[in-house]
Amino acid sequence: MGILERMSLSGKRGFVTGGARGIGKATATAFAEAGADVAIVDIDIEEAEKTAKEIAEATGRKVIAIRCDVTDEADVEAMVSKVAEELGGIEFCHNNAGIALNAKAEEMTYEQWKKVIDINLNGIFLTDVAAGRYMLSHGGGSIINTASMSAHIVNVPQPQCAYNASKAGVIMLTKSLAVEWAKKGVRVNCISPGYIGTELITTSEKLKPLIEEWNALSPFGRMGRPEELQGICVYLASDASSFATGSDFVVDGAYTAF
């Protein structure tokens, strides 16, 4: 079997959390373009339905929208069951839902800290385990988590200790699950994007001064684009990455290289 056949997602089914916009929308689009049927999972069901319709019309694949709160165990388990039922199975997933919070540690409330950890780390755990259970009992699969370059460095100038800690946790969770499930057919990897110019970031007046500072520190002199993460995610969802598990793929334009 050639590389193009192994990179194809034809006949595969999967879901993307945080899939209504930004990075999740970009990867869901790529999965469908590569031949997969996809569920757009998001807490914002209206935006998820709009995204699902857009991708389905553009690719001809079956694309559905499901509302899910990734911090609610019962909700996550119900979502995985619904994806499997409506798509006919699950061979891959991209667990991408997350939030960022810029707050000085000495001023941050405990509630703020817990919210970031709950969505970014606990939400990944719940979704990994629910998807993993399904895959373990149905012949295997590939799980992709979204971590961040912020797991490797302390970003400046914004203070974001909760975000950094949560994403570092995602990487170690990914490695731990990969080792546990390696001989059982379930692969678990993560991507660590650098600054990605999603619409929410690039249109924010509040973030414009920060963007200038980030770009000044980047070897490329710019942020990445959501579509520049599509290739690595299709690779990880496909059979071409059959020996890749427990890995963190940093896609940051060399931001963390120096």
Q: Write out the catalytic residue numbers.
A: 148, 163, 167
Q: Which residue has the tokens 């911090």?
A: 71
d(CA 170, CA 59): 31
- In DSSP notation, 137-201 reads TTT-EEEEEE--GGGTS--SSS--HHHHHHHHHHHHHHHHHHHHHGGGTEEEEEEEE--B--HHH
Q: Where are the alpha helices (DSSP H) in the chain?
A: 3-7, 22-33, 45-59, 73-87, 110-117, 123-136, 161-181, 199-202, 208-217, 230-237
Which residue type occupies 133? R
